[in-house]
Amino acid sequence: MKAIIANLLTVFLFIPHPAQAFRINALKAPASFIVDPALGNYFISNINGNPASRDNNGFIVKFDSSGKTLLVIRGEDPQVTLHAPDGLALHGDILYVTDIHSLRWFDKNNGKTLGHIDLTGIGAKRLKDLTFDSEGNLYISDIFANAIYKVATKDNHKVSVFKKDNQLGNPSGIIYDSIRQRLIVVARATGKILGIGLDGKIAQILRTKTIFKNLNGVDWDREGNLLVSDEAEGKIYRIHNFSRVEIVRGNILTPANISFDYARNLILVPSSKGNLAFTIP
């Protein structure tokens, strides 16, 4: 399996398009696609099989803006465990990843394992996305437990339940709203976009009757508009001022956990069933 994955990754089909847009083929159920704002490199998590299976065959690929593969963190490598890597977040030189019921973190430069926490002790079922607040605390959505966990990264990665409530509606994508000091969560089951204050209060924040189906990812664009992906509808939306909804792109096969590259003004889109990732300028 190592050889097969290695061969796939070394022949990544990097297809450039106008305005810096590009596509990466030969992935394996890509879940999240993020940029390193400090260096401009990209990371894509690959579940590679059953998202609930502890098979240690997941991997994360790192590549530069020209498409050159810089690093592959493989579950089958020595000192590395990756079953079904899903959400990704960077904090300095550390790459955090959700992996079923575990949080793992690696050195973003060399892929070395730096730490791991099993969250089953506080009821974790399927960790999904993750985001940092302005104090460096990490928040993790749990899509099956209807919960959000908080990890105090500056306090020995102490874990606590930040919010557990059925109103979360299978929380998937999560980002921090630094202006309003709250979390924004997209609910996969209900199609709602929720704001969660740091006091734990939940509110629906979208001032529109637009109904989404199976929301997956969420991020901000350069102008402070929300970007969300609807996996079932195959669409990516831009939401202006929490009210006006615009379809950015449709006819996408299972758009997963999207994010945004502010430096290049690109939406980063992984297609989980398409086994590819691409950008939208």
- Provide the residue ranges of all domains of the chain, joining segments of one domain with +: 2-280
Residue 245 CA: distances (Å) to CA of 6, 206, 211, 241? 41, 10, 10, 9
Give the phi and the psi of residue 33 in degrees, each rounded to 5: -140, 110
What φ, ψ does residue 192 adopt, rounded to 5°? Answer: -90, 155
Distance CA 262, CA 79 (A): 33
Res 34 pLDDT > 90: yes
Output the pLDDT for position 1: 33
More confident site: 12 or 227: 227
4 — pLDDT class (breaks 50, 70, 90): very low
> Residue range 257-262: average pLDDT?
98
Task: Give me the mean pLDDT over the 236-243 stretch.
Answer: 96
User: Can you tell me whether residue 167 is helix, strand or coil?
Assistant: helix
Higher pLDDT, 20 or 95: 95
Beta bridge partners of 104: 97, 116
User: Above 70 in pLDDT, residue 90?
Assistant: yes
State how beta strands 171-177 and 158-164 pair. unpaired
Identify the CATH number of the domain defined by range 2-280.
2.120.10.30
- With 50 as the cut, is the pLDDT of residue 205 above it? yes
Per-residue pLDDT at 20? 74
Residue 17 pLDDT greater than 80, yes or no: no
pLDDT band at 69 (very low <50, low <70, confident <90, very high): very high
How confident is the model over 168-180, as a mean pLDDT? 98
Kindly tell me if the per-residue pLDDT of 178 is higher than 60.
Answer: yes
Does pTM surpass 0.95? no
